Structure 1
Amino acid sequence: MLTNGRQVVSMDEGWRFQPDAANLGEQGEWQAIGLPAPLNVTVPHTWNVQEGLEDYRGTGWYEYTLSIPEEWQSCRIRIHFEAIYRDAVIWVNGHQSGSHFNSGYTAFEIDLTANIQCGVENRITVKVNNSNSDQALPLGNSFDWADDGGIIRPVKLIVTGQTAIKHIKVSPEVQFGQGDNKATGKVNAEVYLCEPSAAATVEIGIFKDGERIWYEVRPLPPQTMTWQLTDVQLSPVDLWHFDHPHLYRLELTLREKEQIKDRVAVNFGFREILVKGRELWLNREPVRLMGVEWMPGSNPVTGLAEKQEDLIAMLERLKEANCVITRFHWQQGSELLDWCDRNGILVQEEIPHWQQPDEPDQNTFTLALSQAKEMIADHSHHPCIFAWGMGNELNGQSEITLRYMEQLKQEILQLDSSRLVNYVSNTIHFQPGTDATGAGDLLMWNDYIGTWHGDLDEHEVIKKIISDYPDKPIVVAEYGLCEPIYEGGDPRRTEILLGKTEIYRQYPQFAALIFFSLNDYRTQMGEDGEGKLKQRVHGSLDIYNRVKPSFAALREISSPLLLAGAPVWHEGELEVTLKCRNDIPSYAVQDYYLTVSSADERVSL
């Protein structure tokens, strides 16, 4: 029996791995199929950065042995995979206990209770396959990032009482007052249980900066599977903002007859983000934002099996570049999003529907909606996520694609009505008014005029888009230089960054710019390098996180502050005048500090 209601055990250490190119293993048994000795590995793990397996797509086996103590005899025992790329079947002591197909970046859990044995060693076996698939998203080999196979994110064992929380969907609401404009907050939540309880209570605590600010005990209705937490009012509240990422924590404790059965804590934040005409508003302020897209999984040492320190190193680069908004072509892990919550980065997280099929059908819709449900269920509490993305670079000029995006958006809004929903287009410059990106809350445009899109007149294209959508904000979701297809190197990359940014700044309809990309990135369709070094040279950092000259240009052009003239000495005092930009980026700057350096000393003001 557990005394604190929940124990979470890391299962990252102690795995064994074995490739199985002939797919000989069956029913979780792979020791006797004549393969070489398995390797001892640590999860997250991918075989596609190992020597000899860089280009291997097929079956890999993982095995883990664990002892379950006798005191867990009456407990519920689950295993949580943050992500396996891609198709996975899981056995426990030779019994198939679960599977997860067609989605390689979303988290899933499997209840092991029926097949686990207490007081003895247990064997967990996982069969993974990363072969190209026409039944998954991303489809086949159409996508522009690495397809590293394996258990690519952390694994945890979750031990609770039989009455346990499966997951919590927190829905904070912001209410703005009159005059002083101080905000109050309302907390609603849906609590999903593993099984109904005959009689239980829920202790509810809300915390800010480690201090409990609200507490109540409520009965859990008998035989319920979904419990609604409503009408929790907090006043005033500190709003989440990329410059001031204030977080709260909701903690729930389930009790049956005074015994704690489960305890779960979820971080969340209060913030409002919405579209008003041609403007994007954050917490009742119109904002124009500068961002950059980072392609994870690009360091050839780790591939997509990045550890937390790898993720943080790249996210710190993103913030160092003064960028506050980004997007990901595929779903990310909780550790990455937790960092964005704590440090202030706005994120559009997307279903990995990349180019193919260019005219989606009902099968594609079913796959996309399934992934949307998993993504939203797992990540809806993250205040950093401001929008869900439905796909990237399909045939946006097709009416089929437009109707598909309209239908998918309505389904996503049923899952989460508090965020924006968008489709990213690389075709809006043809006939803007009929393009599928119009189905989204924002027009999201991958602009490669001058390279992929030919030598069009940038101003004419922009004016046509604005004419067709006079009351809708535009976000440039990608712009940059892709080598080696297009020449010019980093000097041309800087030229594109500076030149296009200055054009966009001339039009108030542009709400955000996302440069592509922060880094050169590993991709299975890369034109440069081989094996685990196969890549596209598209970034201001190389694949080892080393800066190029264009990084300094990105950092400077993304600053919300400008130096108004040269610093001057006046009567023994140094006078420095700063001003806020009024184009892109443009937002209120509060609680910043200025560091002045000279050859002799460094002073912060």
Structure 2
Amino acid sequence: MSARTIVPLEESWLFQADHRNEGLSLKWYEHGLTSGESVKIPHTWNVQQGLEEFRGTGWYSYNLFVPADWEGKLLRLQFDAVYRDAVVWVNGKRAGEHAHSGYTTFIVEISDLMNCDADNRIVVSVNNENSQTALPLGNSFDWADDGGIIRGVSLIVSGRVAIDYSKLQAVPFFEDDLSGTTATYGLLSGEIRLWELGSEADIKTLQLKVTLSNEEGAVASQEWKLAETEGALRFRDFRVDQLKLWHFDHPHLYTVHLAIYVDGVLSDEVSTTVGFREIRSDDRTLLLNREPVRLFGVEWMPGSNPEHGMAETSEQLAEMLHHIKHANCVITRFHWQQDSKLLDWCDQHGLLVQEEIPHWQTPNEPGDEWLNISLQHAEEMLHRHYNHACIYAWGLGNELNGQSEMTNLYFEKLKSQVHELDNTRFINYVSNTVHEDPAQDTTGAGDLIMWNDYIGTWHGDLNRPEVIRSITKGIPNKPLVVAEYGLCEPAFEGGDERRTQILVENTMEYRKHPEIAALIYFSLNDYRTQMGEEGEGRLRQRVHGSMNLNGMPKPSYEVLRQFASPVTVSVNSELGSLVITVEVRNDIPCHRVSGYTLELNDAHGERIVKVIPELAPGQRHVFSFTEIPQERWSEISLEIIRPTGFSVIRGSLNDLNNNFIG
């Protein structure tokens, strides 16, 4: 029997908007809601008719039966995210609150407030009014400010000595400095932070058992007995042989099962996943598992489904993430903290992520007074998401005044504090001012140069090649990532045709500069935002994407997919044979191709599958098919498929015949 039970609290919540701010005076927290709308969590009121423009307080109420055998257990309510300021009551008593951060997980202990073998009442008030003490600040941020319990809620039941969170380091070790798809071995180390130990003095021994497994079953298990905890259990150098590395094309994951025993009795257990991978830079080169890579990506703005807003379901999140991978993009960034379920998908399917605190443009020149709130955001993000293999970097600010000395000092102090929390990942600042005076700009204090390039639109007419050279000269010895480029309508004219032109022309220029390590096109989708220049209510949006709000692709989406493909294909005939040449790009994207397959299908259901041998950038492989008569070539479609199952190139032989533009 498991020592931990997780009860999802999703169905049958009551919700009521508090238009007149009377909830406290009417003691809704004590009596619960006697009327209101039955809603399912996740939920936001800002996509409901009549409440699209409501910024204020909403109330939620839930009845929960607690069985008698939970007596003496540790009971915790976990809120995956509430936007934004929340107060939680249990049976009329204030249990906890969470403020200033609307996209991070928080947990409230309710053990002493619950009645066993009885019904219990949980009440939550949520306020999404503009705030001058929260991030994002005020009304100046470029996404939707949907209020509500926007992510999942669950009750965690365990023994009194329990795990709060874990921070696991999965480090591969290579035989030499040469790149490869495997490592000789790996070492797993970790820190397991315990929930507050009210009865710790009565504990004689604590035992930690760690079991590691992969898709083939258990790999190894190890136990540690620990007398001193200081609120955490630590272990080091758990060795893993015959290691499989995590890579965006080969996202191998290991499951780590953590079990806590108190005086020999199992008190709590939890499972998480890790990926053994190494991401670092060497001068201007980005290295993934020792391989020099140049990566292509796109940014997606979640919360844009007009029916669900920021309360998108796991299935809807997965659908949009699938569009990213289908577009051949392997790297992205998020302007605010995301759901762990979303990051689980990125772990499992191979998508590199920079996750950021929502510090966007304002305050323009942050000072020391903002360090605590920014650190709260960073701590809550890191503690819950540390183990995700997909996260390669943390972002601590976007488009502030990067030319300001005050901003420089602020970021350096914040980075230093975050580095103490995690010294294994890049820590970055994303700049839209680095082109002005690169040597002065705050992004230079980050581990990567992150540049939002809007030359020709927001940044006016500048010479892009000269700007790139000035950036790399002004900030030497660091890889450059173009963190955004694209077209925002209706602020700028030209429609999707101009968006395609910007995508093509900018990408062709970026490919000429070897110091550029990655491109992140902006954006995958038109997105809901309270700053939007088009639409009203829940449809207020910025037309910035290659897909519309409803997830329908525009012509520029297919161009993005072609340009982000790591391979090109040419189709020819030679002495009556069908000849297909697959060549690996050697600019952007640029990485080894391993485990890819080529498939030929015809209208009669016949299928030919060929394994593409491992190829380095610039290498090619030629397939010759003598068994296919020339009169059938027009009936045949070709597809190249990644080892993760995502399509790289798909089309008829006629369409692909010397017509690949990427």
Q: Structures share a fold, TM > 0.5?
A: yes
For residue 431 of structure 1, what is the aligned residue in structure 2?
437
For residue 248 of structure 1, what is the aligned residue in structure 2?
254
Distance 1:410 1:27, change over 3 A: farther
Matches within 5 A, 1:517-528: 517-528=523-534
8 Å Cα contact 1:277-1:472 kept in structure 2: yes
8 Å Cα contact 1:28-1:127 kept in structure 2: no
Matches within 5 A, 1:356-371: 356-371=362-377
For residue 103 of structure 1, what is the aligned residue in structure 2?
101
For residue 568 of structure 1, what is the aligned residue in structure 2?
573
- The Cα shift of 1:107 comes to 0.3
- The Cα shift of 1:27 comes to 8.0
For residue 579 of structure 1, what is the aligned residue in structure 2?
583
For residue 557 of structure 1, what is the aligned residue in structure 2?
563
For residue 292 of structure 1, what is the aligned residue in structure 2?
298
In 2, Cα distance between equivalents of 1:561 and 1:17 = 51
In 1, Cα distance between equivalents of 2:399 and 2:110 = 40
In 2, Cα distance between equivalents of 1:38 and 1:142 = 32
Instruction: Please tell me the root mean square deviation across aligned C-alpha atoms, in Å.
Output: 1.7
- The Cα shift of 1:596 comes to 2.7
For residue 262 of structure 1, what is the aligned residue in structure 2?
268
In 1, Cα distance between equivalents of 2:377 and 2:29 = 33
In 2, Cα distance between equivalents of 1:537 and 1:167 = 39
Secondary structure of 2:210's partner? Answer: strand
Distance 1:46 1:184, change over 3 A: same
- The Cα shift of 1:570 comes to 4.3
Secondary structure of 1:169's partner? Answer: strand
For residue 193 of structure 1, what is the aligned residue in structure 2?
194
Question: Is structure 2 residue 459 aligned with structure 1 residue 453?
Answer: yes
Matches within 5 A, 1:126-525: 126-178=124-176, 182-194=183-195, 195=197, 196=200, 197-221=203-227, 224-525=230-531
- The Cα shift of 1:32 comes to 9.8
Distance 1:529 1:170, change over 3 A: same
Secondary structure of 1:114's partner? Answer: helix
- Give the length in aligned residue pairs: 601
Question: Is structure 2 residue 589 aligned with structure 1 residue 604?
Answer: no
In 2, Cα distance between equivalents of 1:578 and 1:31 = 65
Secondary structure of 1:567's partner? Answer: strand
8 Å Cα contact 1:86-1:103 kept in structure 2: yes
For residue 9 of structure 1, what is the aligned residue in structure 2?
7
8 Å Cα contact 2:261-2:268 kept in structure 1: yes
8 Å Cα contact 1:27-1:96 kept in structure 2: no
Gaps in structure 2 of 5+ consecutive residues = 611-662
In 1, Cα distance between equivalents of 2:318 and 2:156 = 25
Which deviates more, 258-267 or 123-132?
258-267
1:417-441 CA deviation, whole Å, 9 max, x = no partner?
0000100000011111111110111
- The Cα shift of 1:21 comes to 1.8
1:220-274 CA deviation, whole Å, 9 max, x = no partner?
3256421111121112311100000000111112223443211111101100001
For residue 49 of structure 1, what is the aligned residue in structure 2?
47
TM-score of the two chains, using structure 1 as the length reference: 0.97
In 2, Cα distance between equivalents of 1:69 and 1:222 = 34
Distance 1:222 1:575, change over 3 A: same
In 2, Cα distance between equivalents of 1:527 and 1:599 = 46
- The Cα shift of 1:31 comes to 8.2
Secondary structure of 1:372's partner? Answer: helix
In 2, Cα distance between equivalents of 1:535 and 1:417 = 37
TM-score of the two chains, using structure 2 as the length reference: 0.88
Distance 1:330 1:459, change over 3 A: same
Which deviates more, 87-96 or 356-365?
356-365
8 Å Cα contact 1:198-1:223 kept in structure 2: no
In 1, Cα distance between equivalents of 2:541 and 2:320 = 17
Distance 1:28 1:228, change over 3 A: farther
Secondary structure of 1:591's partner? Answer: coil
In 2, Cα distance between equivalents of 1:37 and 1:243 = 51
Distance 1:218 1:332, change over 3 A: same
For residue 627 of structure 2, what is the aligned residue in structure 1?
none
For residue 89 of structure 1, what is the aligned residue in structure 2?
87
Gaps in structure 1 of 5+ consecutive residues = none
For residue 592 of structure 1, what is the aligned residue in structure 2?
596
In 1, Cα distance between equivalents of 2:37 and 2:123 = 14
1:361-411 CA deviation, whole Å, 9 max, x = no partner?
122111111110110000000010000001100001111111111111111
Secondary structure of 1:566's partner? Answer: strand
Distance 1:272 1:35, change over 3 A: closer
8 Å Cα contact 2:29-2:89 kept in structure 1: no
8 Å Cα contact 1:27-1:94 kept in structure 2: no
- The Cα shift of 1:472 comes to 1.5
Opposite residue 546 of structure 1, the aligned amino acid is M
Distance 1:602 1:20, change over 3 A: same
Opposite residue 54 of structure 2, the aligned amino acid is Y
Distance 1:34 1:312, change over 3 A: closer
In 1, Cα distance between equivalents of 2:360 and 2:397 = 6
Distance 1:62 1:35, change over 3 A: closer
Secondary structure of 1:85's partner? Answer: coil
- The Cα shift of 1:296 comes to 0.1
Q: Percent identity?
A: 51
Secondary structure of 2:315's partner? Answer: helix
In 1, Cα distance between equivalents of 2:175 and 2:432 = 41
Distance 1:28 1:322, change over 3 A: farther
- The Cα shift of 1:218 comes to 2.1
Which deviates more, 154-163 or 174-183?
174-183
Distance 1:523 1:185, change over 3 A: same
- The Cα shift of 1:34 comes to 13
Distance 1:552 1:223, change over 3 A: closer
Opposite residue 256 of structure 1, the aligned amino acid is V
8 Å Cα contact 1:28-1:94 kept in structure 2: no
1:64-104 CA deviation, whole Å, 9 max, x = no partner?
10000000001110010000000000000001010000000
For residue 20 of structure 1, what is the aligned residue in structure 2?
18
Distance 1:437 1:255, change over 3 A: same
In 2, Cα distance between equivalents of 1:118 and 1:37 = 26
In 1, Cα distance between equivalents of 2:514 and 2:177 = 28
- The Cα shift of 1:177 comes to 1.1
For residue 547 of structure 1, what is the aligned residue in structure 2?
553
Which aligned segments of 4 or more residues in structure 1 are displaced greater than 6 angstroms?
A: 31-36
8 Å Cα contact 1:254-1:260 kept in structure 2: yes
- The Cα shift of 1:210 comes to 4.9
